Structure 1
């Protein structure tokens, strides 16, 4: 006897807990990794010696012997920059100001380095100094003016940013179907129809994000709004084609006024809408709160909470979707360790309560995650841009309130999930990057139809402006 599984709802993404849109559409990835600005001083150190400790030590000894040699200083700073040690590069070039005050090239390189560190005021001071020097070369002006425009935009009371991403993805199990030919329902074995079993497929996707903030000029407080959109089109399984849109608006309050330095409280309202195969599927307004604080310069703590009322819409392919309608309450915590600008680790714990009209869809879940980011000098090419490698692992336990009579009259559904992802961001310019990713998801369930695994591979291009 043939049987088809009931379509599953979009799954919460374990990799972007703060984005309900990405959670709703199940987009897994490191799409938040941003391109890194191009670095200074290309091709000033032989390729075979670049990024090696021995080369830096040799140049350092030469600098100590010839402290006024500008060429040695520039070569050492370029090598330190390529190795990601921006502080060492800055210290070297600032020391050279003693011997060459007002040199346009020196001011330019220092401005670029401070820009990469995010120290906008220092960067602006040095870049303006480069323009004020005598006989400034045209190539220096061409580099300085765009940077000054970006700094002015960042220091403005109002800021906005847009990121657009397009890509392709292949999955081994698009429909989250089991691999077995037969399943057991209420102690009776059934033969699965091919449409209910694991089906591989390719898809194209596009996403966009617009962020806007306005500084209230009141001790660091600001208003924020965000708009996210996601669309995917599958090669053959069009019932999984997705269009999703989320908007949020709120305020971020600096808690320094309460003697809580480097701490912030964020509150916002949001609304999420999802279409599946062109038909309305989900509408979910919500309230969100977040608290972040720096325990010390290396350790950072994040706490979050959300409430959403999820309204599911019935359709031809999903005639019982409204049985999932109900509130969602979520709490999460995340601890990050950042020993340097190029490396970070995190671990997170999250819990959710889903209440549904049908009690066999009501459930509790708990999730444990860990991962990290590593930014390193590009192993190919002559520029000093940093590549970003990201990795994440997680475990999720989901327990339902009542047995689903379609599957079992006595046993509640219990799912255990593990997931892993590995991503690489490779900048190709100041505002463009390639995003590479592979991910794996395994779900073990006491309901045979909910037992599956899926491997995904994706490649995308991201542009920010």
Structure 2
């Protein structure tokens, strides 16, 4: 069993859019055995995009408890009709809500609050022309400062959504602290020829983190909004104490996002380069696909398959790195749950098989990951990461022990 460390990461982001085990030898540095095949920054980029989506999710406001029977008892009550439209939105029935709001405007034209809500609903339905007209009409009337801000934000989002080709640049910088950066065994000892040898003491370390991504996407000429994309990423972690664990990850990938009603399919291919202490440690070619299903308005299951051909090199921090060369297959499934307008929870279970030149570097295993997210004001967020990972290796390392190794890792982290 190994406790991999509690990680605290504070990162600032700028987003611009332009038209394993107690039985372990000295052969491989523990902190680099699990080198990533995707840039660690990918998770941060994913959260930034999720924040952009959540920023518009709560534009429709709080939902009252109103039924159609209530409306029938007082059909000319404007406030009641608007409340009923909001109740339809809460059930995810956007089209019915739009029809209700349209009926209200036929009875009582030029109601800025109703036009505002209609514009927001049409925006969610991707009917951008009607949304622009409704929002512009609302802005010409009397709105509160908050309502005016909502309308302006929605118009800005519509203008961006209507761009077929988008170039997005994301930059970030921050600090990362890991209280067990070298991933020393929890028991305080390691095995050499089945003999316990005292391990190094656990040491925390701080890293200066930098990250960047350039993404180019183009929406295809169809009604579904399908798009193709390509992106390049960089992640760097400059350790303040252990310079031999300085990390650089370069990645590039391309793919498509295809929409089929409530389903979204995203196939992609990619290449990654991992460098340790300015030495090439890992090169990987990968491919895979992810399927998302918007089962409920606030609940979306997903499944993802990924295959990577990993080629490791011997470096000073991991002198037997080549032993880990081989294919890695993973199948993950889980769900994204919008618990509250600003609180979400992602749960992911993963099955992974790693082939390697040496049996003691190959394994099959499982992982469970919980990722809560709290969206704050002005694009800020708090993101937790709690992972339990079990790995059972294919064979023993005779230099370490005659018994086959097994790892249980616990990782906890929080990012701001």
Q: Tell me whether the two structures share a fold, i.e. TM-score over 0.5.
A: yes
CA contact (8 A) 2:383 2:415 kept: no
CA contact (8 A) 2:276 2:317 kept: no
Which residue of structure 2 aligns with residue 404 of structure 1?
A: 397
Which residue of structure 2 aligns with residue 235 of structure 1?
A: 240
CA drift of 1:20 comes to 2.2
Q: Secondary structure at the match of 1:178?
A: coil
Structure 2 residue 16 is the aligned partner of structure 1 residue 21:
no
Q: Secondary structure at the match of 2:160?
A: helix
Structure 2 residue 359 is the aligned partner of structure 1 residue 351:
no
CA drift of 1:413 comes to 0.9
Which residue of structure 1 aligns with residue 408 of structure 2?
A: 416
Task: Render the CA deviation track for 1:151-203: whole Å, top value 9, x for unaligned.
Answer: 222122223433222111222111112366644322324344xxx43111111
> Gaps (5+ residues) in structure 1?
14-18, 41-50, 54-63, 70-75, 77-86, 421-438, 440-456, 460-465
> Gaps (5+ residues) in structure 2?
1-24, 65-73, 84-93
The separation in 2 between residues aligned to 1:6 and 1:213, in whole angstroms, is 40
The separation in 1 between residues aligned to 2:396 and 2:186, in whole angstroms, is 23
The separation in 2 between residues aligned to 1:150 and 1:353, in whole angstroms, is 42
Which residue of structure 1 aligns with residue 29 of structure 2?
A: 7
Q: 1:171 to 1:391 in 2, by over 3 A?
A: closer
Structure 2 residue 132 is the aligned partner of structure 1 residue 124:
yes
The separation in 1 between residues aligned to 2:387 and 2:271, in whole angstroms, is 27
Which residue of structure 1 aligns with residue 326 of structure 2?
A: 326
Q: 1:334 to 1:346 in 2, by over 3 A?
A: same
CA contact (8 A) 1:68 1:99 kept: no
Task: Render the CA deviation track for 1:371-418: whole Å, top value 9, x for unaligned.
Answer: 54455xx6xxxx8x797555454321101111112211x211100123
CA contact (8 A) 1:248 1:268 kept: yes
- Over the residues paired in the alignment, what is the CA RMSD in angstroms? 5.0
Map 1:254-293 to 2 at 5 A. Answer: 254=259, 256=260, 261-293=261-293
CA contact (8 A) 2:304 2:333 kept: yes
The separation in 2 between residues aligned to 1:389 and 1:27, in whole angstroms, is 11
The separation in 1 between residues aligned to 2:174 and 2:123, in whole angstroms, is 30
CA drift of 1:217 comes to 2.0
Task: Render the CA deviation track for 1:235-285: whole Å, top value 9, x for unaligned.
Answer: 12111111111111122333x4xxxx3123322210011111111111101
The separation in 2 between residues aligned to 1:92 and 1:319, in whole angstroms, is 68
Q: Secondary structure at the match of 1:360?
A: helix
Q: Secondary structure at the match of 2:393?
A: strand
TM-score calculated relative to the size of structure 1: 0.64
Q: 1:108 to 1:205 in 2, by over 3 A?
A: same
The separation in 2 between residues aligned to 1:135 and 1:364, in whole angstroms, is 63
Which residue of structure 2 aligns with residue 198 of structure 1?
A: 202
CA contact (8 A) 2:215 2:232 kept: yes
Greater RCO (CA < 8 Å, at least 6 residues apart): 2
The separation in 1 between residues aligned to 2:301 and 2:365, in whole angstroms, is 22
The separation in 2 between residues aligned to 1:311 and 1:402, in whole angstroms, is 20
Q: 1:7 to 1:28 in 2, by over 3 A?
A: farther
Q: 1:208 to 1:91 in 2, by over 3 A?
A: farther
The separation in 2 between residues aligned to 1:214 and 1:94, in whole angstroms, is 33
Q: Secondary structure at the match of 2:316?
A: coil
Q: 1:151 to 1:217 in 2, by over 3 A?
A: same
Which residue of structure 2 aligns with residue 72 of structure 1?
A: none
Q: 1:278 to 1:404 in 2, by over 3 A?
A: same
CA drift of 1:143 comes to 9.0
Counterpart selection for 1:253 from 237, 243, 258: 258
Which residue of structure 2 aligns with residue 171 of structure 1?
A: 178
Structure 2 residue 165 is the aligned partner of structure 1 residue 152:
no
Q: 1:302 to 1:200 in 2, by over 3 A?
A: same
Q: 1:150 to 1:417 in 2, by over 3 A?
A: same
CA contact (8 A) 1:180 1:197 kept: no
**Count of residues in correspondence between the two structures:** 378
Q: 1:37 to 1:26 in 2, by over 3 A?
A: closer
CA drift of 1:351 comes to 1.1
Structure 2 residue 177 is the aligned partner of structure 1 residue 185:
no
Segment drifting more, 266-275 vs 92-101: 92-101
CA contact (8 A) 2:395 2:405 kept: yes
Which residue of structure 2 aligns with residue 34 of structure 1?
A: 51
